[in-house]
Amino acid sequence: PGYTLPIEAVDFLKKLKTKWSFVQADYKIADFQANIQPSESDLKSFFEGSKDFYVVPPRMKASYVCFENEHFISKIKHPSEAELREFFEKNKAFFATEKEAPSFESIKDEIYSSYMETLSRKMAEESANKFLMRIYDEKIALGSEKFYQLLKESDLKFEQIKPYTAKSIAKEKSLPQEMLKQAFSLDKDHYFSDMHSNDKGTYILFFEKVLPKANLPFEKVRKQVERHFVAAKKRELFNEKANKIEDELKKALSEGKGFTETARSLGLKVLEKDDYTIEEQDKRISFSILDTLSKMKEKTVSDFINDKEGGIFVYLKDKDIPKVEKDDEEVKKAQKRIGAYTSN
């Protein structure tokens, strides 16, 4: 375990056991009303100053072919009953349910469908493998006359994939996602993927190129720009209002008025805590509040503490820091506790 000095343990225990009596006053941006109506020139100026935000990230441009299972069903010889029985015996676990192990006769149609699906999938995978071997062995280039001839011989349709990013792969449900991911490890020299299958068939992807990052034109993102402008302007006005509230709170204290009453009169939501310790772990009290309190003098109000929902003012009524001696048994336990934590 890591070694902790006694003074570190003493400091830790003091912070843990200090009793804070304070008032927390919340000012929510959701409660702040602002009538913001930007002009076209405001929006364009805002857009010009934040162009790098409105971009299309680098995207993968690729295509694929699919060896559809259904295409091979017509090429399968109708199975005999003996072949179906053999298939059933080898795959009994697949057909079994929690309640029973069905007989061959009771699910004969289901066995037939499963047999045809299994065989067609196998034939699709074999054909895809032969296709890949031809490309590799004959060094066929993507888009060459020989490439299109191979597609024609294999009776395949060459499909384009809408350009995508690594993050957008999860949205694509119709194509094997592992295949889409593999595209990012391909290049023009090794442009074809491994085989990837799903219920429809077996796929091979072809890398074409990576489209570079591109800035979007103002016209295409105007609504988004307006939302961002209004949000930024609202936060700016909100902070200005918060600064005025801060001045009023501090002025009221200097005049001997109570913080809680003043905060409420200014529309703030008040939370009062007496003898609060870190061990209570009240989720409404953030670490930033405790950190601010530790630096404050009694009977003072903090500056405005910004957060995602708006911000907070804190008034420290008093604090009780316990006496902790380095020879206390509790200090030794704290040393071990801190040492065990820091060594992990």
- The 10s digit of each residue's pLDDT in 298-325 is 999 999 999 999 999 999 999 998 887 7
At 53, the pLDDT band (50, 70, 90 cuts) reads very high
- The 10s digit of each residue's pLDDT in 157-200 is 999 999 999 999 998 889 999 999 999 999 999 999 999 999 99
Q: How far apart are CA 44 and CA 57, in angstroms?
A: 22
- The 10s digit of each residue's pLDDT in 158-168 is 999 999 999 99
- The 10s digit of each residue's pLDDT in 239-269 is 999 999 999 999 999 999 999 999 999 999 9
- The 10s digit of each residue's pLDDT in 76-135 is 999 999 999 999 989 888 888 877 778 898 899 999 999 999 999 999 999 999 999 999
Q: How far apart are CA 77 and CA 83, in angstroms?
A: 11
Phi then psi for 311, rounded to 5 degrees?
A: 175, 175
* Per-residue pLDDT at 97: 80
Q: How far apart are CA 265 and CA 248, in angstroms?
A: 11
Q: Which of 27-31, 38-42, 67-71, 338-342 has the lowest mean pLDDT?
A: 338-342
Other C-beta atoms closer than 10 Å to the C-beta of 96 total 11
Query: Across residues 213-234, what is the average pLDDT?
Result: 96
At 340, the pLDDT band (50, 70, 90 cuts) reads low
- Asked if residue 1 has pLDDT above 60, the reply is no
Q: How far apart are CA 126 and CA 132, in angstroms?
A: 10
- Using CA atoms, how far residue 332 sits from 8, 75, 327, in Å, is 11, 80, 8
Per-residue HEC secondary structure of the chain comes to CCCCCHHHHHHHHHHHHCEEEEEEEEEEHHHCCCCCCCCHHHHHHHHHHCHHHCEECCEEEEEEEEEEHHHHHCCCCCCCHHHHHHHHHHCHHHHCCCCCCCCCHHHHHHHHHHHHHHHHHHHHHHHHHHHHHHHHHCCCCCCCHHHHHHHHHCCCCCEEEEEECCHHHHHCCCCCHHHHHHHHHCCCCCCECCCEECCCEEEEEEEEEEECCEECCHHHHHHHHHHHHHHHHHHHHHHHHHHHHHHHHHHHHHCCCCHHHHHHHCCCEEEEEEEECHHHCCCCCCHHHHHHHHCCCCCEECCCEEECCEEEEEEEEEEECCCCCCCCHHHHHHHHHHHHHHHC
Q: How far apart are CA 46 and CA 141, in angstroms?
A: 47
